[in-house]
Amino acid sequence: MTSRFLNLVFSPSVKEAQQRYGSREAYSRRDGATEPDQLTENEAQFIATRDSMYMASIGANGWPYIQHRGGPPGFIKVLNALLLGIADFRGNRQYVSVGNLADDNRVALFLMDYPRRARLKILGRARAVDLAQASDLASALIDPGYGAKVERGIVIDVEAFDWNCPQHITPRYTLAEIEPSIAALKARIAELEAEVAKNRAMA
């Protein structure tokens, strides 16, 4: 857990709650960090294998909004230690997140690895980019083999990140992750069925 992350999310009301429930003294040692966190190779490798994330933004009316973003593994690009980017694919065309960024560029990203029970939270400032006017960025963000229509890029300046403990994360697996196990089971079943058929023929 980085000090920068804690200093961004620990508002006076949060600190008051910590004082009331007995955890303020432990956290007070982390007060004061002002420099943005830089992503390390550990975070970069984790991000590079994600095929989805959740992005929270804030509307002009004060309501938070969380949107799922997905794509091929690695669709979230680590452009450098302080900068992330994604190709923004066409969805239901409500443009809530894009509109929210025009009023408040702060976002929170939530990245999950359910099989390994790991989660990474990232705070940053995001902006929409017209990729038709930014060819180098378009090349960095767009995966040609993925067929979804790209409407824009979203670039996120990283402010802070935090790894959570695995407590209460239920392991879940994608079809691609369980297919090798299923294939092995099917092969074994076919082998046993062939053996049973052979034994019956010999009886």
The predicted pLDDT at position 135 comes to 94
Does the structure show a pLDDT above 80 at 23?
yes
| pLDDT score of 1 | 66
If DSSP states are collapsed to H, E and C, what string results for the chain?
A: CCHHHHHHHCCHHHHHHHHHHCCHHHHHCCCCCCCCCCCCHHHHHHHHCCCEEEEEEECCCCCEEEEEEECCCCCEEEEECCEEEEEEECCCCCCHHHHHHHHCCEEEEEEEECCCCEEEEEEEEEEEECHHHCHHHHHHHCCCCCCCCEEEEEEEEEEEEEEECCCCCCCCCCHHHHHHHHHHHHHHHHHHHHHHHHHHHHC
Mean pLDDT estimate for the chain: 93
pTM equals 0.86
**Looking at residue 32, what is its pLDDT?**
79
Kindly report, residue by residue over 187-202, the tens digit of the pLDDT: 999 999 999 998 988 8
Residue 76 CB-density burial (10 A; 0-12 exposed, 13-18 middle, 19+ buried):
buried
pLDDT tens-digit map of 47-105 = 999 999 999 999 999 999 999 999 999 999 999 999 999 999 998 889 999 999 999 99
**Confidence (pLDDT) at 35:** 83
